Amino acid sequence: MIEFEIADNNFSTQLVQFWRESFLAAYSDVHSAENIQAYFSASYTIEEANKMLSSEHFFCLKANRNQQTVGIAIVNYRRCSLNEGLDTAELKHLYLLPSAYGTGLAHKMMDEVFRSVKKESKSHVWLSVSKLNIRAQRFYKKLGFECIGDGDDIHVGNEVLASLIMIKKLVN
């Protein structure tokens, strides 16, 4: 059975470990070990985890199965740079462990994210996704996200990946 909870500052070390484990599982065949390590050093640090978990602008949803975290979703309450007029929240990360792939957990987590974002009176959720990550783009399109333009480049070590911005209007 899956249980959801909002992570607090005590989850920082586990969050860094989860980021790294889930990123490796998803991208070790795409990026070199050297570039992945550089990405970890720049992005998946204890300082970054502490910053997110202690900020009122972020929340981290954990999905636990048998007391083990198998999925995380991190939301940043900030406006989309491509549509400043909307009251939006950014889905910063949605990561699952491979053991949770194909179980419907990602859909359940997104439903929880949408509920939480609506409670904060946000009208839309947006995200940035690599143009190479076709699987993720398909998943988000099934959830009702639409592509609205190009996003910032994603730097993984010395690799530079183009990204797309996708957005979904939340219905009441």
pLDDT lower than 70: segments of the chain: none
pLDDT tens by residue, 69-97: 999 999 999 888 888 788 899 999 999 99
pLDDT reported for residue 85:
81
pLDDT reported for residue 89:
96
pLDDT reported for residue 150:
96
The whole-angstrom separation of Cα 73 and Cα 109 is: 7
pLDDT reported for residue 81:
83
The H or E element spanning position 41 is: helix 33-43
pLDDT reported for residue 80:
86
Identify the domain containing residue 18 by its residue range. 2-169
pLDDT reported for residue 84:
77
Between the CA of residue 70 and those of 15, 56, 60, 88, 157, what are the distances in Å? Answer: 11, 24, 13, 26, 26
Name the pTM for this structure: 0.93
* Residue 93 C-alpha from the chain's centroid: 1
* Residue 26 C-alpha from the chain's centroid: 13
CATH of the domain at 116: 3.40.630.30
pLDDT reported for residue 76:
96
pLDDT reported for residue 79:
87
The whole-angstrom separation of Cα 114 and Cα 169 is: 10
> What's the distance, Cα to Cα, between the start and end of the chain in Å?
28
The total domain count for the chain is 1
Phi, psi of 91 (to 5 degrees): -80, 105
